[in-house]
């Protein structure tokens, strides 16, 4: 019946700060839909940013910055991604650690975006 995810809305307090983080730190391509909505391209889907003080409808019942817990797949080996984060002075909250992903064992690290959302960045676990 369903075949995948098209986009996921991330509620943010400061659009510019969020766009900078997701593009500079995570390397996502930015596509401006209009003054209130920005898509961050992620494979064949997007993270769609909505700022808290905008009038967009419909929205979730309680859109709350910092309430997201999201796992993103990384193309780079995690040690290279860690070097990238270190160069940008981005704090790693935990990891790398072994976890179970949707398609099997993964190796993950955890960081937070400017709104406090928990972002897990993963790679398939080494065999």
CA terminus-to-terminus distance, the chain: 34
SS (H, E, C) 39-58: EEEECCEEEEEEECCCCCCC
Q: pLDDT-derived band of residue 35, with 50, 70 and 90 as boundaries?
A: confident
Residue 18 in 3-state DSSP? helix
pTM: 0.93
Active site residues: 120
CA dist 81 and 51 (Å) reads 28
- Residues whose CB is less than 8 angstroms from the CB of residue 59 and which lie 6 or more positions away in sequence, other chains included: 9, 50
Angle formed at CA 125 by CA 123 and CA 127, multiple of 5 degrees: 140
Q: pLDDT-derived band of residue 45, with 50, 70 and 90 as boundaries?
A: very high
CA dist 101 and 76 (Å) reads 17
In the block, residue with structure tokens 């391209």: 41
Query: How far lies 44's CA from each of 4, 15, 38, 40, 69, in Å?
Result: 10, 22, 16, 11, 20
pLDDT in tens, 92-123: 999 999 999 999 999 999 999 999 999 999 99
pLDDT in tens, 55-80: 888 888 888 999 999 999 999 999 99
């Amino acid at each position: 019946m369903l075949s995948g995810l098209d986009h996921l809305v991330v509620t943010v307090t400061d659009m510019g700060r969020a766009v900078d983080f997701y593009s500079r730190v995570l390397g996502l391509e930015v596509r401006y839909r209009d003054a209130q909505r920005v898509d961050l391209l992620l494979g064949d889907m997007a993270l769609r940013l909505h700022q808290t003080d905008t009038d967009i409808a419909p929205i979730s019942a309680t859109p709350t910055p910092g309430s997201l817990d999201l796992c993103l797949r990384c193309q780079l080996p995690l040690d290279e991604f860690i070097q990238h984060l270190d160069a940008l002075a981005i704090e790693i909250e935990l990891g790398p650690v072994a976890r179970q992903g949707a398609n099997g064992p993964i190796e993950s690290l955890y960081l937070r975006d400017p709104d406090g959302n928990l972002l897990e960045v993963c790679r398939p676990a080494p065999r």
